[in-house]
Amino acid sequence: MALIVQKYGGTSVGSPERIGNVARRVAGFQAQGHQVVVVVSAMSGETNRLIGLAREIAMDPDPRELDVVVATGEQVTIGLLCMALHAAGVKARSYTGSQVRILTDSAHTKARILNIDEAPIRADLERGNVVVVAGFQGVDERGSITTLGRGGSDTTAVALAAALRADECQIYTDVDGVYTADPRIVPQARKLDRITFEEMLELASLGSKVLQIRSVEFAGKYKVRLRVLSSFAQGGEGTLITVEETQNMERPVISGIAFNRDEAKLTVLGVPDRPGVAYRILGPVAEANVDVDMIVQNAGHDAATDLSFTVSRGDLGKAVKALEAARGEIGDLVVETDSSMAKVSVVGVGMRSHPGVAATMFRTLGEEGINIQMIATSEIRISVAIEEKYLELAVRVLHQAFGLEQIPGAGEGANHR
């Protein structure tokens, strides 16, 4: 008998019929003798409807009151799912975030979980109940309702799994696992049976929207065994996200290829080459709440240099404005922009012990005539900025170059030299 925390997202509970399907799946797990805690999101579309109502009243609604309104989405789902479980002959009991109680700080709309009182849930499980908990929400010390921000239901599930020392935390979603690349771009993409937390974090931060990044961090920190599965397909094993690297010696060097389409590049020309200038350029950009991603400073010629950096395409205007406002302070700068950039990344813990990955990546792209404009690396990731029109081609040729379509151990492994 295991204790399993399962999380079902908005699409999985998007209609009464789908809620019935979730109930039958949960009933099946309980029939196998497992104790089950279910975390649910709001029915798909509901959170946006509620935010829309709020925005009709105030452009910038009070965060405390916005949380009061938005938290009702998940509250509706927990009640409906319990009804569906009763209809399936299963004892079930619902909990809002404040009923659990999931104590958070008071940072409304983006609160952080401080503590979970798992005792009432454990008591309910012992009585043979399935426990259904509203995701995405908690309560602060003063009793005000808080929300964890978008995607926070994943975090609720992982935090509950940690507090209950659950055997596994299963995230049900509309994909059946984590893939080596987006199957819409690479038809040969293969579902991964396992991936490490570090790799998952890199993939999530690069725009693979399978799991919310905070929940992966949380799971890594508290060593929660995390699994991503499809709530629509039956019987799949999904992808297990683990702390330990796989025992398989034939493990591939690269686990997956991620990309981010909406990038823009800014290049500031003729920057005076003296200490503190990079901060004086990037400081105003950060203050304008624009996240800077890749940064490259070219080798200076004479007393001047060029500084390039990328931002989200939607933030390009804000970034340019921030630079113009700072012009007086830094001097007369020329700013060039390119809003048709994309980022492609290869991710894998195996590259720690295989130094040839960057060379394989750059050669493969070069052979296709794809110019690399910027490069950034972490210990387990190499990212390049390229022109967006080459994005699909780049992902496909890299997928092939690293042999990702092959099941590890079944063939020659990665073919990089």
56 binds a copy of itself (CB under 8 A): yes
> Which one, of 28, 44, 156, lies nearest residue 95 by Cα?
156
- What letter would DSSP give residue 414? -
71 binds a copy of itself (CB under 8 A): yes
119 binds a copy of itself (CB under 8 A): no
8 A C-beta contact, residue 102 and residue 114: no
75 binds a copy of itself (CB under 8 A): yes
Nearer to a copy of itself by Cβ, of 72 and 230: the residue is 72
Phi, psi dihedrals of residue 11, rounded to the nearest 5°: -70, -40
327 binds a copy of itself (CB under 8 A): no
**In degrees to the nearest 10, what's the CA dihedral of 286, 291, 296, 302?**
-20
8 A C-beta contact, residue 92 and residue 81: yes
76 binds a copy of itself (CB under 8 A): yes
* CA distance readout (Å), 103 to 1, 157, 220, 271: 29, 14, 21, 49
Q: Which range in 141-149, 190-198, 205-213, 294-302 contacts a copy of itself by CB under 8 A?
A: 141-149
Q: Which range in 29-37, 72-80, 156-164, 320-328 contacts a copy of itself by CB under 8 A?
A: 72-80
Tell me how far apart the alpha carbons of residues 38 and 380 are, in angstroms, rounded to a whole number.
33
Interface residue with a copy of itself among 3, 28, 51, 68 (CB under 8 A) is 68
CB of 174 to a copy of itself, least distance (A): 21
Tell me how far apart the alpha carbons of residues 322 and 315 are, in angstroms, rounded to a whole number.
11
Q: Which of residues 249-278 bind a copy of itself (CB under 8 A)?
A: none
374 binds a copy of itself (CB under 8 A): no
- Alpha helix (H) residue ranges in 305-377: 316-325, 327-330, 357-367
Nearer to a copy of itself by Cβ, of 74 and 388: the residue is 74
50 binds a copy of itself (CB under 8 A): yes
Q: In terms of C-beta density within 10 A (0-12 exposed, 13-18 middle, 19 or more buried), how is residue 292 classed? A: middle
Q: Which of residues 79-118 bind a copy of itself (CB under 8 A)?
A: 79-80, 82-84, 86-87, 93-94, 96, 98-99
Query: What residues line the site for a copy of itself (CB under 8 A)?
Result: 16, 19-20, 50, 53-54, 56-58, 61-62, 64-69, 71-72, 75-76, 78-80, 82-84, 86-87, 93-94, 96, 98-99, 143-145
